[in-house]
C-alpha cells in the first residue's frame, strides 16, 4: 500500500471508495487498485505488467540481497500482484504461494495480468495468519503486505503472528514486511518482530519514502558487511531490472548508524527519521 494517489475523475473514485470494496481506476496510463481515495494498494503499467511501479515494492525485493535464489516464497496479500508477477518472471526456480483473504481482490487477477495457477505458482483465498500458523513448509522468503480499507490487517501485527513467521521460515529465512509510514503503531510492531527474531531486524525507508520496510532474519543475514551487500547488489542487477544497490545502501546505513530504532522506556521501539 502506498499513500496519496493522484485523483482523477474524483466523483468516480469517491463513489468506488464509499462501497468499502476494492476498485480499479486508470491514471496517467497506469492501472491502480484501491480501497479508498486516499491510498493506492497496487499500480501497474499495462505496457510492462511485470515491472515494479511503486517504490515500496522495489525496496521489498531487497530480500534477495540475503537470499538471491529462494526455493519457496510465500506472500501474504496479493493486491494487484506486482510482487507476485515480478517473482514469477525473475525467479523461475522458486515455488510461489500467495495468500489473499479477499476473493474480490483475487477476482481482478486478469485485469492485472497475474499468471494462472501452475505447478509453481498458487493463489489461495484465505487468512494469512492462519496459513502461517498451519504451515509445514520451510519458507525461504516471506513477504507480508496484507492491507484492507482499515489498513494493515490486525491479525498480521500480533506477537503470535511474528512468532509463527519465525517458525515457518527456513534456518536462513527472511521475512520482509511493508508498513504504512503514517501508522503510529509501527514502533510496537517492530518491537514484536525484534522479539520474535532475536533482534535480527532492520528497518529502512521505502524507495518512494512513503512506507517503512522491515527485514527480519532467522539466520545471520545481518552480519553481511556493506561491501558484501553492495557486491551482491551489483551482481543481482545483471539479472534484475531494479536498483538493488539503492536498497543495499539504505540497509547498511540503518545498520551502521544504529539510531534508526531506539528503545524507549515503556514504549517499545520508536522509529527515528
Query: Do residues 8 and 95 both lie within one domain?
Result: no
Cβ–Cβ under 8 Å, residues 84 and 60: no
HSE-CB at 11 with a 13 A cutoff on CA atoms is 0
Cell of 169: 521460515
Q: Is residue 21 part of a domain?
A: yes
Q: Is residue 131 part of a domain?
A: yes
Can you tell me the distance from the alpha carbon of 119 to that of 266, in angstroms, rounded to the nearest whole number? 48
30-34 and 23-27 as β-strands: parallel, antiparallel, unpaired? antiparallel
178-209: per-residue pLDDT in tens? 998 778 889 999 999 999 999 999 999 999 87
Q: Is residue 266 part of a domain?
A: yes
Q: Is residue 200 part of a domain?
A: yes
Query: Do residues 119 and 142 both lie within one domain?
Result: yes
Beta bridge partners of 43: 32
Can you tell me the distance from the alpha carbon of 165 to that of 135, in angstroms, rounded to the nearest whole number? 9
Query: Do residues 40 and 68 both lie within one domain?
Result: no
In this prediction, residue 145 carries a pLDDT of 94
Q: What is the CATH number of the domain that holds 177?
A: 3.40.50.150
170 in helix, strand or coil? strand
In this prediction, residue 264 carries a pLDDT of 35
- pTM equals 0.86
Start-to-end CA distance of the chain, whole Å, equals 20
Query: Do residues 36 and 60 both lie within one domain?
Result: no
39-40 and 2-3 as β-strands: parallel, antiparallel, unpaired? antiparallel
51-84: per-residue pLDDT in tens? 999 999 999 999 999 999 999 999 999 999 999 9
For residue 21, give its domain range: 2-44
In this prediction, residue 224 carries a pLDDT of 80
In this prediction, residue 1 carries a pLDDT of 53
Asked about 145 being catalytic, the answer comes back as yes
Q: Is residue 49 part of a domain?
A: no
Residue 256 neighbours by CB distance under 10 Å: 10
Can you tell me the distance from the alpha carbon of 203 to that of 6, in angstroms, rounded to the nearest whole number? 27
- b/e sequence 172-193, b meaning 16+ C-beta within 10 Å: ebbbbbbbbbebeebbbbbbbb
Query: Do residues 29 and 99 both lie within one domain?
Result: no
Region of poorest pLDDT, from 34-48, 108-122, 180-194: 34-48
pLDDT at 6 over 90: no
User: Considering 145, 150, 183, 199, which one is annotated as catalytic?
Assistant: 145
Query: Do residues 131 and 189 both lie within one domain?
Result: yes
C-alpha dihedral (73, 45, 250, 60), degrees to nearest 10: -20
Can you tell me the distance from the alpha carbon of 188 to that of 271, in angstroms, rounded to the nearest whole number? 10
Query: Do residues 70 and 27 both lie within one domain?
Result: no
In this prediction, residue 33 carries a pLDDT of 87
| Distance, C-alpha 95 to centroid of its chain | 17
Q: Is residue 78 part of a domain?
A: yes
Cβ–Cβ under 8 Å, residues 136 and 168: no
Query: Do residues 140 and 243 both lie within one domain?
Result: yes
Name, in order, each residue with C-beta under 8 angstroms of 118's C-beta and a sequence gap of 6 or more: none
Domain count, the chain: 2
Q: Is residue 50 part of a domain?
A: no
Say which residue, 246 or 261, is predicted with more confidence: 246
Question: Phi then psi for 49, rounded to 5 degrees?
Answer: -65, -20
Query: Do residues 131 and 70 both lie within one domain?
Result: yes
Q: Is residue 104 part of a domain?
A: yes
206-260: per-residue pLDDT in tens? 998 789 999 999 987 777 888 999 999 999 999 999 999 999 999 998 887 753 4
Mean pLDDT value across the chain = 86
Cell of 196: 520474535
Name, in order, each residue with C-beta under 8 angstroms of 269's C-beta and a sequence gap of 6 or more: 187, 188, 190, 191, 194, 261, 262, 263
Query: Do residues 131 and 256 both lie within one domain?
Result: yes
Query: Do residues 29 and 137 both lie within one domain?
Result: no
18-37: per-residue pLDDT in tens? 556 888 888 889 998 887 76
Query: Do residues 120 and 7 both lie within one domain?
Result: no
Name, in order, each residue with C-beta under 8 angstroms of 95's C-beta and a sequence gap of 6 or more: 71, 72, 73, 120, 121
Amino acid at each position: 500500500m502506498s499513500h496519496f494517489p493522484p485523483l482523477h475523475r474524483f466523483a468516480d473514485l469517491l463513489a468506488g471508495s464509499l462501497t468499502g470494496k476494492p476498485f480499479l481506476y486508470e491514471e496517467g496510463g497506469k492501472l491502480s487498485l484501491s480501497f479508498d481515495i486516499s491510498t493506492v494498494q497496487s499500480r501497474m503499467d499495462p505496457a510492462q505488467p511485470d515491472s515494479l511501479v511503486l517504490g515500496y515494492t522495489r525496496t521489498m525485493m531487497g530480500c534477495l540481497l540475503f537470499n538471491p535464489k529462494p526455493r519457496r516464497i510465500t506472500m501474504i496479500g496479493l493486491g494487484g500482484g506486482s510482487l507476485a508477477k515480478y517473482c514469477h518472471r525473475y525467479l523461475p526456480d522458486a515455488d510461489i504461494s500467495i495468500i489473499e483473504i479477499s476473493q474480490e481482490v483475487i477476482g481482478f487477477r486478469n485485469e492485472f495480468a497475474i499468471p494462472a495457477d501452475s505447478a509453481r505458482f498458487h493463489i489461495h483465498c484465505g487468512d494469512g495468519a492462519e496459513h502461517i500458523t498451519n504451515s509445514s513448509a520451510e519458507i525461504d522468503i516471506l513477504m507480508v503486505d496484507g492491507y484492507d480499507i482499515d489498513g494493515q490487517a490486525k491479525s498480521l501485527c500480533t506477537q503470535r503472528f511474528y512468532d509463527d513467521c519465525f517458525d515457518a521460515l527456513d534456518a536462513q529465512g527472511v521475512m520482509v514486511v511493508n508498513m504504512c509510514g503514517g501508522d503510529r503503531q509501527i514502533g510496537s510492531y517492530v518491537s514484536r518482530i525484534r522479539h520474535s527474531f532475536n533482534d535480527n531486524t532492520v528497518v529502512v525507508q521505502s524507495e518512494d519514502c512513503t512506507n517503512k520496510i522491515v527485514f527480519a532474519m532467522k539466520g545471520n543475514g545481518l552480519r553481511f558487511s556493506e561491501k558484501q551487500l553492495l557486491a551482491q547488489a551489483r551482481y543481482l542487477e545483471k539479472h534484475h531490472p531494479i536498483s538493488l544497490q539503492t536498497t543495499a545502501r539504505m540497509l547498511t546505513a540503518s545498520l551502521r548508524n544504529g539510531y534508526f530504532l531506539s528503545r524507549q522506556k515503556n514504549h517499545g521501539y520508536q522509529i527515528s527519521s
